[in-house]
Chain A
Amino acid sequence: MTNVVFWILAPLAAASGFMVFVFNSMARATIALLVSFLASGGLLIWLGLAYLGTVVILMMIMEMVIMAVFMIAYMMNPAGLTQMSMYHNKRGSLAIGTATFVLLAAGIFAAPWPHRAGRAPRDPTFQLGTALMGPQMLTMIVLGVTLFATMVAAVVLATHRGRYDRFGDDLKRRPPADPVRGGVDG
């Protein structure tokens, strides 16, 4: 039974990942990538990492939908809406992709996996987190805050309408000059 789950989800993840480069539509390529992520999330749940698997599913649906919107919006011309090729340097990318897959898959069989000592807890998410980043936890937390601050700063720098545009130079204009009336502050 458990192997059935693997043999459905693992080929699905690999095949739909490959289909990203076969489809000639932005929308289909994005959804193929999403299917690949969903299958990977399912595999994580199957491995007993329910929290990680579910979060992968949750985040990837949101991210892929938003990515589809932006990829289609930013494609020059109406290429996002019409058919287009998803790759440059077809042979090179195919060779690199296949080689990477073979290398990683070979690593699975070549690695000397340890035998299980003791029993796994009901939800091993905490143990996995400690094993992955234990001594580096402080670094990871600082990194997370830094990344978030970078994102906020980038949005602040990129926005073409800041508070001085809305509330005037002395920040006293009420209601603010918004292109669309209404909302929270009138």
Chain B
Amino acid sequence: MVGSAPLWAVLAVPAVLAVFALTAATADAVLAARAAGQRVTWTVLAAPLAEVPRLLAAQRRTTPAPDALLWRLGLAAIPAAGVLSAVVIPFGHVTVSRMSVGVVWFNAMEVLTWAGVWMAGWGPNSVLSLVGGYRFVAQGLAYELPLMFALICAATGAQSLNAADIAAAQGHLWFAVWMPAAFAVYLVSVYAFSFLGPFAYPAGRDLAGGVAAELSGPDRLMLEAGRWLLLTSGAGMAVPLFLGGGAGPALPPWAWSAVKTLAVLGLLVWGRRRLPVIRADRYAELAWVVLIPLMIAQALAVALVVLTMGGPP
């Protein structure tokens, strides 16, 4: 690793990420309760946290002739991808890994879910689960290129692949303001790599849970926690890439990072209940015919601005 950080910081990443993810899951539970016409009680608020010991204690489902090695490996890879992608996200002034190519690392760790979800679908030797795993690969082929171009736009704007440098380059104007298409595509892609909301297709209800169809107990906890950790990591990375990082008046940088991360998370959790699930083949067409050309045009515009002005505005 390039750059070094104190050892406690490495342990802090999963802890901080888990607290934000739990906050998001709790907000989601509240929205679900309100949509169902229930009163928001302490039971509703504690439900996501109470789910953790319940799943840890629950019996693990077994299937005939599973590929247990790939199954467990895949399930472990999903939360691991969420945590590993977060080590390059600057939180205020602190970044655990000051790797020079943080954006590429984030992208690589988010792509780890491709292997994770496919293995988790393959493992249990079950049709619905297998279809779910394949659906994620199809979805990946659709969302990945627009997402990569959105990341390239932010990196081009700051002329750096380091997330902290990108945040520092937005002293005058947030990238979300002058590269709105890249920001929008990035946010949509966060749903896609955490397969939540409109991109819950690999774990769709039409497949009896798809990749999660055969999961119970700790296995289900790994998958569900992994999805929320990925969503949280995606929301956290949106802050240095497009929303100016920890910069802001009055409050210290870490507080601004937290506020902005929670704002993006809130938007994503709220939108998750407002948007219908989209099939991967339909999104593939939209992504390849509309979004990739749009993103290339966005990257060109960013490059021209940086070239003519000698830097970001």
Contacts and interface: CB of A to CB of B under 8 A. Distances in A.
Interface of A: 25, 27-28, 31, 34, 45, 48, 50-51, 54-55, 57-58, 61-62, 64-66, 68-69, 122-123, 180, 182-185
A50 B99 contact: yes
A34 B119 CA distance: 12
A51 B137 contact: no
B67 A58 contact: no
Contacts of A48: 2
A62 B2 contact: no
A65 B112 contact: no
Contact of B285 (A27, A31, A69, A184): A184
18 contacts: A31-B115, A31-B119, A48-B2, A50-B101, A54-B99, A55-B104, A62-B114, A62-B140, A62-B144, A64-B115, A66-B137, A66-B141, A69-B134, A122-B2, A123-B101, A180-B281, A184-B289, A184-B290
Contact of B137 (A27, A45, A65, A182): A65
B282 A61 contact: no
B11 interface: no
> Chain A contact residues: over half helix, strand or loop, or mixed?
helix
Contacts of A27: 67, 70, 119, 122
B159 to A, nearest CB: 13
Interface string B156-190: 00000100000000000000000000000000000
A65 B114 CA distance: 7
Contacts of A62: 111, 114, 140, 144
Contact of A34 (B115, B137, B281): B115
Interface in B106-159: 107-108, 111-112, 114-115, 118-119, 122, 134, 137, 140-141, 144
B254 to A, nearest CB: 26
B2 A68 contact: no
A56 to B, nearest CB: 9
Contact of B70 (A31, A50, A57, A123): A31
Contact of A54 (B108, B137, B289): B108
A15 to B, nearest CB: 15
Nearest to B81: A61
B99 to A, nearest CB: 6
A180 B285 CA distance: 11
